[in-house]
Amino acid sequence: MKQARVLTEPEQRRLLAVIADTRYAARNRIAFMLSYMGGLRVGEIAALTVGDVLDGEGRVREQIRLSAEITKGGHARTAFVNDRLRKELERYTDSLSEKQRQSGRPLLVTQKGKPFTANVLCQLMGGLYKQAGFDGASSHSGRRWFITKLAHSGVSAKVIMTLAGHKHLSTTQRYIDVNDDMLRKAVALI
């Protein structure tokens, strides 16, 4: 099975520009940000509730606890919220009505006001990649970018594996994208 394409940062900006012109731009943007900045799987994003990302005071949590019921493999894990993702989540949740901000409500809803399923969110993301002109990109592209970015930033393989929720290092290694520029930089170190 072919791996999902990993977008470059200029391509990500182009994708976000396309998303900004969509009818549900804020919702669509946060779905992608949770993938790119948090490394979440599409099923995990679809299953999030407002209470998963906001504390009792309405502030964005420093960590998103993903229960075993919503993770692949049935193992709970924690997604850490960096400053950029926190700001994105604040912007998104501030745009929600008081009713929409209730703890047990889905974080993301369809145009009919229903919770997303993983499949429907996957289709939405795939359609937006296609609209932006990115062949080979899928709902997994953000997660691959997240893991690749950590690896290229020198984060240890064990930390990346834990953040990704993988049980085996070999799984994590398959996510890491390598291109000619990275290879040149590696050889230049010698």
Residue 1 lies in a domain: no
- Residue 85 Cα to chain centre, angstroms: 10
Q: What is the distance between the alpha carbons of residues 19 and 10, in angstroms, rounded to a whole number?
A: 14
Residue 108 lies in a domain: yes
pTM score above 0.85 = yes
- Write out the H or E segment, with its range, that includes residue 64: strand 63-66
Q: What CATH number is attached to the domain comprising 25?
A: 1.10.443.10
Residue 169 lies in a domain: no
Q: What residues make up the domain containing 135?
A: 9-142
Query: Is the torsion defined by CA of 156, 160, 165, 170 positive or negative?
Result: negative
pLDDT in tens, the chain (190 residues): 678 999 999 999 999 999 999 999 999 999 999 999 999 999 999 999 999 999 999 999 999 999 999 998 888 999 999 999 999 999 999 999 999 999 999 999 999 999 999 999 999 999 999 999 999 999 999 999 999 999 888 899 999 999 988 888 888 788 777 877 777 877 888 8
